[in-house]
Amino acid sequence: MRLLFFIRALDITTRAFSLDGTEPGAHELVFCREGQGYLRTPESRTVALGPGSLLFNPRGRLVADPGGGGARRLAVVRIFFAEELFSPSVNMDREALYVLGIVKLHARKQNHISLSRVGRERMNTLMDAMLWEYQNRYRGYSWALRLKLIELLITLMRDTQFSIAIRGLKPWSGSRIQDAVLYLNADYMNPISVQDVLESCGLSRSHFHALFKEETGRTFVDYLSTLRCNRAAELLLTTDRTVLDIAGDCGFNNLSHFYHVFRRKYGSSPARYRRAHGLEDSS
C-alpha cells in the first residue's frame, strides 16, 4: 500500500537514514528540535546539526553529540510524505509542488537547512500541530495535514536563512477572483457595479479587470451578462412568466437592454427563442 503521510517524534542517539527503495515522489523531512549532533553522509561528509536544523531527504547516519558531558540525544520529528498529496490541477498545490521541486534541487547538493530563530519557532509549532492531527485523527485530519505541509513549505520559503532563489513564483490571484466570481453567481439578479465587486475582493480596478480576464477568459461585463442571460433562457423555457418579469428577475434594469444582450448571445429575441423551443410566448 502506498504510504502518503507519516509523522513521528523520536529521541535519537544514532540512526541511519535512506530513501533507497522507496517509490518515486516520496520525501522525508527530519527536523531537529533539541540537542546537538551531526549527519555523516555516504560521501563521508560531516554536517553539524542543532535546534532548528532541517534535513530534506537525508542519507547517512545521524549521530547525537553529548556536547561536553550532556545527555547524548537528539529530539527530532521525522516526516514522510508523497507528492500525490498535492494536485497539479489546483493552483495552490501546483505552487507548492514548484517550491518542493526547488528544495529537491537544492537537496541534491546540500540537504541541510539551518532555519532562523523565527523559522525555528514556526516550524516547532507546525510539528506540534501535525503530530496532534496525526495522533488524534479527528474528522478532516488528512486535509489539515496537507495544509500544514503547504504551510511548512511557505515557512521554509520565507525564512531569511533560506537563500535559494525562487523565480517565477507568482501569487495565486485565483482566490480573490474566485471570491468575485462567487459573489457574481450569488447576486447576479441584483444591481451590481464593478465597485461592489472590488469591495468583495480587495483589488484595484485595473488589477481586477486584468486578473478577471486572465482567470475566467471573459471580461467582467461579459461574465455578468452571460450569467444573467443563461438564467433568463432557463426561465423562458421552464416557466410561462412574461419576458419583462424574467428580465427584471435576472438583473436587467430595462427591457431594451435585456433584448440587446440576449440577442447578441443567442442570436434571437427572447420571444423568438421561446417559440423556437415549442413554447408559446406569454409576453
Tell me: do 193 and 222 sit in the same domain: yes
| Order of all β-strands in the sheet with 46-49 | 14-17, 60-65, 36-40, 46-49
Three-class SS of residue 26? Answer: strand
Of 125, 158, 191, which closes a domain? 158
Tell me: do 145 and 203 sit in the same domain: no
The most confident of 7-21, 26-40, 65-79, by mean pLDDT = 26-40
Three-class SS of residue 147? Answer: helix
Cβ atoms < 10 Å from Cβ of 155: 20
Q: Look at residue 128 in the predicted model and tell me its pLDDT.
A: 95
Tell me: do 196 and 222 sit in the same domain: yes
pLDDT band at residue 7 under the 50/70/90 scheme: very high
CATH assignment at residue 217: 1.10.10.60
Tell me: do 92 and 141 sit in the same domain: yes
Of 108, 125, 158, which closes a domain? 158
195 lies in a domain? Answer: yes
CA distances in angstroms from 283 to 157, 198, 236, 259, 267, listed in the order given: 62, 37, 10, 13, 19
Distance CA 243, CA 259 (A): 9
**Range(s) of the domain holding residue 33:** 5-158
Tell me: do 115 and 13 sit in the same domain: yes
Of 158, 186, 217, which closes a domain? 158
CATH assignment at residue 84: 2.60.120.280
- Segment 207-255, tens digit of pLDDT: 889 988 888 888 999 999 998 998 899 899 888 889 999 999 899 988 9
Set of cell numbers at residue 18: 535512506
Q: Look at residue 85 in the predicted model and tell me its pLDDT.
A: 85
Tell me: do 140 and 18 sit in the same domain: yes
Query: pTM for the complete prediction?
Result: 0.57
- The residue assigned the cell 517509490 is 23
Residue 174: which of 98, 97, 91 has the closest Cα? 91
Across the range 163-185, mean pLDDT stands at 62
Tell me: do 179 and 221 sit in the same domain: yes
How is 109-130 classified by DSSP, letter by letter? H--EEE--HHHHHHHHHHHHHH
pLDDT band at residue 171 under the 50/70/90 scheme: very low
Distance CA 153, CA 97 (A): 9
Q: Look at residue 114 in the predicted model and tell me its pLDDT.
A: 82
- Segment 200-215, tens digit of pLDDT: 677 788 888 998 888 8
The 10 Å CB-count burial string (b at 16+, else e) for 64-93 is bbeeeeeebbbbbbbbbbbbebbeeeebeb
- Residues near 91 by Cβ (< 8 Å), separated by ≥ 6? 172, 174
Tell me: do 111 and 183 sit in the same domain: no
Q: Look at residue 283 in the predicted model and tell me its pLDDT.
A: 54
Three-class SS of residue 17? Answer: strand
Three-class SS of residue 40? Answer: strand
Indicate the residue type of 133: E
